[in-house]
Structure 1
Amino acid sequence: MKKRLKRQRRCDAKLAKRAEAKRRKADVAASTKAAFHSKVNAMSSEARDAFFVERGARIEARRRETAERKERRRAQLSSAYGLTIDCDEDLTTTMERERWGSLMKQLRAAYERNCKTTAPFKMSFTRMSEAFEEQMGRMNAGWENWHVVRLGKTLRETAAESETTAKSLVYLTADSERELREIEAGKTYVIGGFIDRNRHKGLTLRKARELGVEHARLPIGEFLETRGAPVLTVNQTADVLTSFLERGDWGEAIEAVVPARKVVKIANRSNEADAKIKDAERARDEDEDEDEDEDASPTADDDDDAPTSTDGAPR
């Protein structure tokens, strides 16, 4: 009985809070509307006509922008280039549950970057565990409306569908001996949704071999010498792929994403490329610093709360 009363009180409090928020919203709307009419009524006839013409133009411009944005997002689902983030339960249950929040932020960042690019991937997520999906809904409200394909199956089940499907998958893993040289239409590049902090090295390579799918690593070492192993988050790995599609150059794509503070030496880069990429590097660093403030790491070698890698691709 006590538990039932306690639940009822919580429910009543929630409903009361919701009603109060609704009332405040209505008050603000009424106040805004009154101020608008007061402003318009104080105008001369000519000024009022000019005001409404300008206002109509702004509204129309916003409508066009919204329609264009929706069209760009729809175009993602028809892209010839596939990008799957492996959120299988075998990965998310292996990592510490406290890291789930960081991974979910990275999923959101990867999605948002894919929405803005002129060269989007057809992004998909493998089936998530019930607990992970529930927390995903709390962390990324409205993610059900993202323009991504929710496969509803694990990567293992996807690879087992047919030999053709298995051959189309390329698992990106830092431990692979093969370097990714091209991004091919019709292929789906898989990023492991996993934060290991050096505790589970080789996990994604083992998984790729078990599934019998192709695997590769990003060619970061060819272009950058970094302080220790370059640590890229899931979204940064996706960003390198997207930047390559945009630029057609691995060097520029990698340099634009890897935080400049982690780079000791940059090979094969011209002065022109320096000027071209400088602003992008600064912007990436600022984003990284914000992430680190939220997810501070206990050691200098374990920063960014990211999957540890020897070439930037998640393990």
Structure 2
Amino acid sequence: MQACYDEGNPIIAFNCGFTDQMQEKEITSLAKQLQLSYNTLKRSKESCVQFHLVGMDSALETRLHPQGYENWKVHIDKGPYWDTFAGHDIVVLTPDAVEDLEAVEKDKVYVIGGLVDRTIAKNETFSQANRLDPAPAAGGSIVMRKLPVREYLPNVTLPVLNINTVVEILLAVLKKGSSAWSEVLESLVPQRKQLGAGEGRKARRLEHKRQKRNILYGAGDGADPIAKVSDTVWYAGNNVKPRDEENEDIGTKLLFGFQSDDSD
């Protein structure tokens, strides 16, 4: 880790200058995602990447203390990223960018906006970067790119990801190359976002019903035979006919508020 701290590349910088726009629970969530990102870096044996926390304030610092961030091998920069990395080629990752990120290159600085997943603040990172000179006097460049989520996962419901997921994606593409975008995104973008909106709601609802059934009755061959309703019964919302209607447990359906729902 010390070698990555000193000379790792590429540089991944977390832009932590948005805490004034977040609630306390969201800042806490950001701190947790930063910890997860750091853990991902520690587990990555093939990639030696340098991490920076830029623009960090006392609100975030307070919430990072329980995570033990003082012992992390990361750079803490109080100033904004455009000053910290003056003279570098900077790639600002924002879902509002026009162009897709095509490759992860070792000679670049990748800036990830420190806005948690539930804070859907449209154009925040884009607007901030858009005010900057794309060709600074100190040299280098500043461009905006988005992960090619829509290109490879056209059914994704919302292309805004947790920052630790973005880190996992960058490290995976760095390791496997730009030809692996499809494989990497399918593997790392949460399934709930890869489904269409209606499919996602149905999947969550059906999974919730199965979990409650298993908690109440247990699962497997030892479960109550009366309560062992076939999975097709629980998928009745998709108009699938039960295999054995005579053994359908009406009481169980009523207990869980089950009903056919074609609204999605």
Match of residue 70 from structure 2: 144
- When residues 257 and 95 of structure 1 are mapped into structure 2, their CA distance, relative to the original with a 3 A threshold, is same
**SS of match in other structure, 2:131:** helix
Q: Equivalent of 1:135, from 52, 60, 63?
A: 63
**SS of match in other structure, 1:93:** helix
Aligned length: 184
Shift of 1:198: 5.5
Identity %: 30
Contact 2:100-2:145 within 8 A present in 1 as well: yes
Compare 226-235 and 249-258 and name the one that shifted more. 226-235
- Which residues of 2 match residues 90-239 of structure 1 at below 5 A? 91-117=18-44, 118-138=46-66, 140=67, 142-158=68-84, 162=86, 164-165=87-88, 168-195=89-116, 197=118, 199-212=120-133, 213-239=142-168
Q: TM-score normalised to the size of structure 1?
A: 0.55
Deviations 1:154-197 (Å, cap 9, x if unpaired)?
A: 224325xx4x23xx111000000011001122210000011264
Question: Partners in 2 of 1:86 and 1:198 — Cα distance?
Answer: 15
- Which residues of 2 match residues 1-315 of structure 1 at below 5 A? 73-77=1-5, 78-88=7-17, 91-117=18-44, 118-138=46-66, 140=67, 142-158=68-84, 162=86, 164-165=87-88, 168-195=89-116, 197=118, 199-212=120-133, 213-248=142-177, 249-264=180-195
Shift of 1:264: 3.9
Contact 2:13-2:52 within 8 A present in 1 as well: yes
**SS of match in other structure, 1:113:** helix
Question: Partners in 1 of 2:41 and 2:105 — Cα distance?
Answer: 17
Runs of 4+ with deviation above 3 angstroms:
196-199
**SS of match in other structure, 1:225:** coil
Q: TM-score normalised to the size of structure 2?
A: 0.65
Letter in 2 for 1:247: K
- When residues 87 and 198 of structure 1 are mapped into structure 2, their CA distance, relative to the original with a 3 A threshold, is closer
Larger relative helix fraction: 1
Q: Which consecutive residues of structure 2, in runs of 5 or more, have no partner in the other structure?
A: 134-141, 197-264
Contact 1:95-1:196 within 8 A present in 2 as well: no
**SS of match in other structure, 1:228:** coil
Contact 2:56-2:76 within 8 A present in 1 as well: no
Q: Which consecutive residues of structure 1, in runs of 5 or more, have no partner in the other structure?
A: 1-72, 266-315
Letter in 2 for 1:101: T
Question: Partners in 2 of 1:191 and 1:199 — Cα distance?
Answer: 15
Question: Partners in 1 of 2:59 and 2:154 — Cα distance?
Answer: 39
Question: Partners in 1 of 2:126 and 2:50 — Cα distance?
Answer: 23
